[in-house]
């Protein structure tokens, strides 16, 4: 079978992806992935590369995000593997990591941190990279997520204390920092999420219960039991949940300071609390 010209494939791919913001760029990215190119694209593709390219384009047209297609994604200054069935890290969580790092770097002595609902492990890995000798724990209810976090830690040469746990069920000891990107989408809104989210992210990594606050409520009420006095809690929350989260924090009665911080787009996005 003869090789297929790259230009022909790119035209077909761009036409198939015309609903996206930059279909030409999307098609080139799919072609590079299909043939393993790390620079200039070849002039022709072999038949098996053409088939792979077409599958990638069709998957992208269905809404699958690039991390799911490529099997990895960048986070801050490192890269993690993103296997199927594990939550794909988003830019907002990078902002959460940066907030956590500001606190983490200034904590005295030998602090302990806990990443609740770790997914691919990105938050725990960011903390471990900043202070390799400190103790960083990470938990998730998903066996796939724990396995992904373990593999990513091994690839980066970092040590994490990994737990498969439903909430705090298997957590012991106290921490100076607790950070989490919990499920916070109200159940009724899941069907209205973008296709690339619904197609890839596991439902239990998104579903925050009827009001979206099920797990945030648990973290605000149970989290203080696992924090040292003066310890910090950082949460990613929905952009419209700030007032509700602050009411829950006040009702919990365990936080001497609490506020909601805005993301780079100006939306209320992160809860910051310090334990009494």
Give the pLDDT confidence of 26-57 residue by residue, as tens digits. 999 999 988 887 767 888 888 888 888 898 89
Tell me: pLDDT of 1 over 50. no
Measuring CA to CA, which residue among 156, 157, 177, 136 is closest to residue 77?
Answer: 156
The predicted structure's pLDDT at residue 65 = 86
The predicted structure's pLDDT at residue 140 = 98
Compute the C-alpha angle 187/89/265, nearest 5°. 80
Just list the catalytic residues: 87, 181-182
Domain boundaries, the chain: 4-61, 85-275
Report d(CA 236, CA 259) in Å as an integer.
12
Which neighbouring-strand residues pair with 4? 45
Q: What is the mean pLDDT of the chain?
A: 93
Please give the model's pTM, rounded to 2 decimal places.
0.87
Question: pLDDT digits over 171-220, tens only?
Answer: 999 999 999 999 999 999 999 998 778 878 999 999 999 999 999 999 99
pLDDT band at 78, cuts 50/70/90?
Answer: very high
Report d(CA 35, CA 84) in Å as an integer.
22
Question: If one looks up domain 85-275 in CATH, what number appears?
Answer: 3.40.50.150
């Amino acid at each position: 079978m003869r090789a297929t010209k790259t230009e022909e494939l790119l035209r077909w791919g761009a036409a198939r992806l015309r609903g996206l913001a930059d279909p030409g760029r999307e098609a080139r990215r799919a072609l590079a992935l299909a043939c393993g190119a790390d620079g200039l694209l070849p002039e022709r593709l072999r038949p098996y590369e053409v088939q792979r390219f077409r599958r990638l384009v069709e998957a992208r047209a269905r809404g699958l995000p690039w991390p799911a297609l490529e099997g990895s994604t960048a986070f801050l200054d490192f890269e993690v593997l993103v296997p199927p069935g594990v939550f794909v890290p988003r830019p907002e969580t990078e902002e959460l990591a940066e907030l956590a790092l500001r606190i983490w770097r200034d904590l005295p002595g030998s602090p302990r941190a806990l990443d609740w609902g770790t997914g691919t492990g990105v938050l725990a890995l960011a903390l471990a990279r900043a202070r390799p000798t400190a103790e960083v724990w990470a938990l998730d209810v998903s066996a796939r997520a724990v396995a992904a976090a373990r593999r990513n830690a091994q690839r980066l040469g970092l040590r994490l204390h990994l737990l498969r746990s439903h909430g705090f069920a298997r957590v012991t000891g106290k921490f100076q920092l607790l950070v989490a990107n919990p499920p916070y989408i109200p159940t009724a809104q899941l069907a209205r999420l973008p296709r690339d989210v619904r197609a890839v992210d596991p439902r239990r990594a998104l579903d925050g219960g009827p009001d979206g606050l099920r797990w945030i409520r648990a973290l605000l009420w149970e989290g203080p039991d696992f924090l040292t006095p003066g310890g910090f809690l950082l949460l990613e929350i929905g952009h419209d949940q700030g007032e509700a989260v602050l009411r829950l924090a006040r009702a919990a009665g365990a936080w001497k300071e609490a506020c909601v911080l805005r993301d780079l787009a100006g939306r209320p996005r992160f809860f910051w609390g310090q334990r009494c």
